[in-house]
Amino acid sequence: MVRVSQQWQQRYRHKSFIRNTRSTHDETLFQVRSFCRHAEAPIAPLPPTAYPETVKHALLIGLAVVVFGFAGAVVAGVFNKDSAQAPTTADVGASPGAATTNAKTEVIAEGLEIPWEVAFAPDNRILVTERPGRVRVIQNGQLQPDPILTVQTAGSGEGGLQGMALDPDFAANKFVYLYISSGSGNTLTNRVVRYRDTGSALAEPKTLVDAIPGNNNHNGGRLAFGPDKKLYVTTGDSQEPSLAQDKNSLAGKVLRLNPDGSTPADNPFAGQPGARGEVWSLGHRNPQGLAWDDSGTLYLAEHGPSGDLGQCCKDEVNKIDKGANYGWPEVTGDQKRDGLVNPILQSGNATTWAPAGLSLGPDGRLYFGALRGEHLHAVTLKDGKVTKNEELFKEFGRIRAVVKGPDNRLYITTSNRDGRGSEKPGDDKLIRLALPAS
């Protein structure tokens, strides 16, 4: 609770700094001021949200609980810290149905460098990729100083070590899948590599997919296993928008692979001439978020244009169907054209979220991290339609990974050290959230 309060103070302390240093649009080099004036506009003071009020309430309730708890302890002859803390922290905003009590927002690790993805091993270790090329481990609550893997990566732009997924049978086979960039500029390519976790290192690299088109920007990079135990991969358009419509290119797609890298026979274009069998959906610009709901529906978050093709903003959340075409660069936002699928949510032509990681929350809402938007975005769905969306947790800066942990809590990472944000003390961080009630 004290930590949250400090972070709230930091937000105000850094606001003027943010105002002075914020310059680039988000995950792209293209900043066309005439189309994206909001990107350069001074940052207005953030309106008060329910969060600090909640914290204040928690402080008051916490004080009351401590006083009454202490009195009760004196009467009972014992002092139980947990019982004194539980009502306090639960009030900070444990979501209904959360598996744990004592819910509070807390920093799990500090001092990370551009953490991109988080994975929870069954032995309670937390693995974190850092974009410069390291896999870090948090064990027994401590960030270990030595990475379990260091890889050479592309050193510029958005490329580097990005996505990570653990095999659904990780406990038995110890397979870890990584999305890695190498090269630079328009010679940059991305690949999906499988490693075996020895407990102290990632070993036996085997490249499953190579030569995914890349560039300084628009590399996609998310990896996730679906409920069908297939490996899904998001790829960016590599700053060549037309490739997103080319079924014979791996750029601007969602790919679907068997865990060994081979192509599933039931992929929509498997065996078709002039098409890559790995393609599951097409027409994406720069998708970085993948998540399934409890019924097995796949959702994807992707960046809309930021100057390219003379358009701005229009970040998207899409419901992904097998073989469907999501339009980039033929259409953006809600523009309609036969055969192209519109997003279920888009940010309009004046707002940029720059969505990164996407996860189903414990409350059934979809949550994605906003990089340029600097918040956690909550999306309420009913019967496949968005009924509400809102911005939460504006105090942490740029948010990249959003992952649900084995404790049924949401974890996020900041991305304030990637040169596009304002670094705060302790950045970058892995944070466990207490969600407000939906």
In the complex, the smallest distance separating the C-beta of residue 375 from Ca ion, rounded to whole angstroms, is: 22
Show the DSSP H helices in 165-308 as ranges.
170-173
The answer to whether 423 and 416 are in contact (CB under 8 A) is yes
CA distance 303 to 318: 11
Spatial CA neighbour of 242 closest among 327, 311, 159, 355: 327
What are residue 391's DSSP bridge partners?
377
> CB-wise, 214 or 327, nearer to Ca ion?
327
Helix (H) or strand (E) holding 5: helix 2-21
Q: How far is the CB of 334 from Ca ion (least distance, A)?
A: 9
Shortest distance in whole angstroms from residue 387 CB to Ca ion: 21
Q: Which residue, among 410, 379, 409, 372, has the nearest Cα to 394 in the 3D structure? A: 372
Here the tokens at position 369 are 């991290």
Map residues 255-294 to x or -, x wherever contact with Ca ion holds by CB under 5 A: ----------------------------------------
Contact 43, 18 (CB under 8 A): yes
Closer of 85 and 332 to Ca ion (Cβ): 332
304 forms part of the interface with Ca ion (CB under 5 A): no
Give 44-53's long-range contacts (Cβ < 8 A, gap of 24+).
Answer: 45/15, 46/11, 46/15, 46/394, 49/392, 49/394, 50/436, 51/8, 51/392, 51/393, 51/394, 51/395, 51/436, 52/8
Residue 168: exposure state from Cβ atoms within 10 A (0-12, 13-18, ≥19):
middle
Task: Give the interface size with Ca ion as a residue count (CB under 5 A).
Answer: 2
Q: In angstroms, give the least distance from the CB of 340 to Ca ion.
A: 7
Q: Could you tell me the smallest distance in angstroms from the CB atom of residue 283 to Ca ion?
A: 6
Question: Which CB sits closer to Ca ion, 182 or 342?
Answer: 342
Residue whose Cβ sits closest to Ca ion:
327
Residues in 319-338 that interact with Ca ion by CB under 5 A: 326-327
Q: How far is the CB of 316 from Ca ion (least distance, A)?
A: 5
DSSP label of 249: S
Taking the least distance from each CB to Ca ion, the nearer of 332 and 416 is 332
Strands (E), 156-285: 161-166, 175-182, 189-197, 202-213, 223-225, 231-234, 253-257, 279-282
State how far the Cα of 336 lies from the Cα of 316, in Å rounded to an integer: 14
Shortest Å, Cβ 346 to Ca ion: 8
Nearer CB in complex with Ca ion: 73/340: 340
The stretch among 135-143, 318-326, 369-377, 402-410 that binds Ca ion (CB under 5 A) is 318-326
CB of 103 or CB of 282, closer to Ca ion: 282
* C-alpha to C-alpha distance for 4 and 6, rounded to whole angstroms: 5
Mark 299-319 as b/e (b = at least 16 C-beta within 10 Å). bbbbbbbbbbeebbbbbbbbb
x/- track of binding to Ca ion for residues 88-127 (CB under 5 A): ----------------------------------------
Q: Output 97 or 323, the one with its CB closest to Ca ion.
A: 323
CB of 291 to Ca ion, least distance (A): 17
Please say which residue, 90 or 345, places its beta carbon nearer to Ca ion: 345
CB of 326 to Ca ion, least distance (A): 4
Residue closer to Ca ion by CB (options 253, 420) is 253
Give the residues lining the site for Ca ion (CB under 5 A).
326-327
